[in-house]
Amino acid sequence: MHYFIAAPFGNYLKYSNKDVFHPCVSVTGTWTLDYRGGWLTRLWRIAKTLRYSSELKGWTNRLGLPNEGLVVGLNRLQANEVLSIAAIKKDDWKKMARMIDDCVSLEFNLSCPNVSDDDVNWDDLPLFLGSKKRKWCIAKVSPLIEEKDLSFLIDEVGFKQIHLCNTLPVDGRGGLSGPSLKPYALGLIETVRSRWGDDLEIIAGGGVQNFKDVSLYMSAGSNHISLGSVCFNPRKVKSLIVKR
């Protein structure tokens, strides 16, 4: 089992594996091919759009993947980290495949609710799947993904590692994270395990706050755990992963 510090928290939270119960992997990004704003843009969008909703029992945001671009992300990447990437334009996957070394571990953000990627398709994703040097090559999918799309990613593209799941689109508020994602993630775990058995590695996330949540996902069939909104409170993260 591994813990994954989900992007964007993985840009800031790093843990030495000698200090944790299970290996802990920081996911950096999400990075796009081109520049979409620096830290000032990120801070402005956080202040403007990040809100806790007591009604929805989770955090909503409309950040829109502000980042300095893939080249910066590659230069900052440290050993044993995973690079989260997303395509915005039609040919982005092809261009990024030429730029990224085949030993770099990747997570494909295929479902950010805060960017328009209508021109993007998944047909170029196999360009990244040919290398056996990547320890991680993960598809991060929407909580609303349909089984036919999972089938394409798994059976046609060839993903063996699936992250269930990304934030939930909420009209007018962007993406929702937190405990409200649990039923979606658990339902997807059941779907994947019932159709594909144990051939895939599942990273489960959504509302993980304590060991009870970890146990819930692991008993449902997950191999690994992703930590997202809990990272707003690094003390809680440490209580989950750091040896005492």
Task: Identify whether the C-beta of residue 36 lies closer than 8 Å to the C-beta of residue 64.
Answer: yes
Instruction: With a cut of 70, list the residues of the chain below it in pLDDT.
Output: 113-114, 116-119, 243-244
Question: What pLDDT sits at residue 39?
Answer: 80
Report if pTM > 0.85. yes
- The pLDDT, as a whole number, for residue 208 is 97
Determine the pLDDT at residue 10: 96
Q: What is the pLDDT of residue 213?
A: 97
Domain 3-241 in CATH 3.20.20.70? The answer is yes
Contacts 24+ apart (CB under 8 A), 120-124: 120/87, 120/88, 120/89, 120/90, 120/92, 120/93, 121/90, 122/152, 122/153, 122/157, 124/91, 124/93, 124/94, 124/97
**Which pLDDT score, from 0 to 100, does residue 189 have?**
99
State the amino acid at position 100 in one-letter form: I
Give kind and range of the element (H or E) at residue 224: strand 224-227
pLDDT number for residue 118 = 64
What pLDDT does residue 114 have?
62
The C-alpha atoms of residue 74 and residue 25 are separated, in whole angstroms, by 16
Burial class of 28 by CB neighbour count within 10 A (0 to 12, 13 to 18, 19+): buried
The domain segmentation of the chain, as residue ranges, is 3-241
